[in-house]
Chains A and B, each alone.
Chain A
């Protein structure tokens, strides 16, 4: 079983916790809008047809994971000696990938792609639309791998005493 002690360490600090909520919320709002769950004009309205329950659940999962992964990557970049950017890049890619799958060809974004890129835009948006669920599962996989990677690198490089969680000043950086 994977120990998520580093996740607890990072999110015991209010700034990372707030950042995670802000990122998850922003990603969710953007994806709900792109995917046709949220409409702003002529009146703000949220609409979840039962047939789209699976798509909606995947979006919620992608938003939550994006919120979890990004602050972990920022934490490890700003606090660890190794300053690995791999997990951040992977997480950002997974999150962006999840958002892009919401670009249906019928939406204004998809239509702009089709009219500006022609056949390539049509093929691209058709592909995103036809394979939306597998692509979202791939995005969730990327984000999960990124989260595990970030958790492992923080746990490995820091000597974490669970009793001191919430007091980052006591974390010791292991000198190699």
Chain B
């Protein structure tokens, strides 16, 4: 009888261990298949770099690798990428002429996000798009707290010494609204489901997607693999 009980106890223990393992494996697999696969499929439409005649490029025009960053000026993850990865990416690949970057506005948090995107383009009219871009991410505040309202946006323009009347006129005219909306529509068409999302296009048109504020090593692996062909 005690032997039977011991066997049952051992069998129960195995069941619990089995359940525990299944819970862990199912959880990890669920995350991978739900998020991992959807992200890969999300950007399946092919992009031809030649189709882009975008202003505000960072890097050499003939750089073999193109990175399209779909970002949001109020997104904490985009600011995290800016603080932790972008500088290294620029010093290693952009400055050496291997990569060029375009920032595509994926503004979905509300009017402050849209205005910030328009303001960056207005700064671009004066050749300071990336300076303004950097100021926005380095001064990012809490979402929809007013840190990117129109008064603040004018203040940021002062920091980088823009011609104020020209900048204010551009910001108030809303001339770039349609471009910002068009960037968002392009992102939706490509299946972008969060920010930052990076579409990295190789010299032969092959593309890889990186979603989230990933470390430099992730970009390095993708860029090197696209360069090898």
Contacts and interface: CB of A to CB of B under 8 A. Distances in A.
A40 interface: yes
B12 A15 contact: yes
B84 A42 contact: no
Interface residues of A, number: 40
A57 B16 CA distance: 29
A25 B23 CA distance: 10
Interface residues of B, number: 49
Interface in B171-229: 193-196, 208-215, 217-218, 221-222
5 contacts: A16-B16, A26-B27, A36-B80, A104-B77, A106-B76
Interface string A51-89: 110000000000000000000000000000000000000
4 smallest beta-carbon distances between A and B, as pairs: A22-B20, A15-B16, A106-B75, A126-B143
A42 B224 CA distance: 13
B63 interface: no
A64 to B, nearest CB: 15
Identify the interface centre among A21, A41, A130: most chain B CB within 10 Å of its CB. A41
Contacts, number: 123
A105 B109 contact: yes
B108 A47 contact: no
A143 interface: no
Contacts of A1: none
Given A40-B36, A105-B75, A107-B194, A115 B211 contact: no
B106 to A, nearest CB: 9
Nearest to A121: B108
Nearest to A51: B83
A30 B83 CA distance: 24
Nearest to A52: B80
A14 interface: yes
A22 B21 contact: yes
A112 to B, nearest CB: 7
Interface in A1-60: 14-16, 18-19, 21-23, 25-26, 29-30, 33, 36, 39-43, 45, 47, 49, 51-52
B142 interface: yes
Interface string B12-31: 11001101110110011001
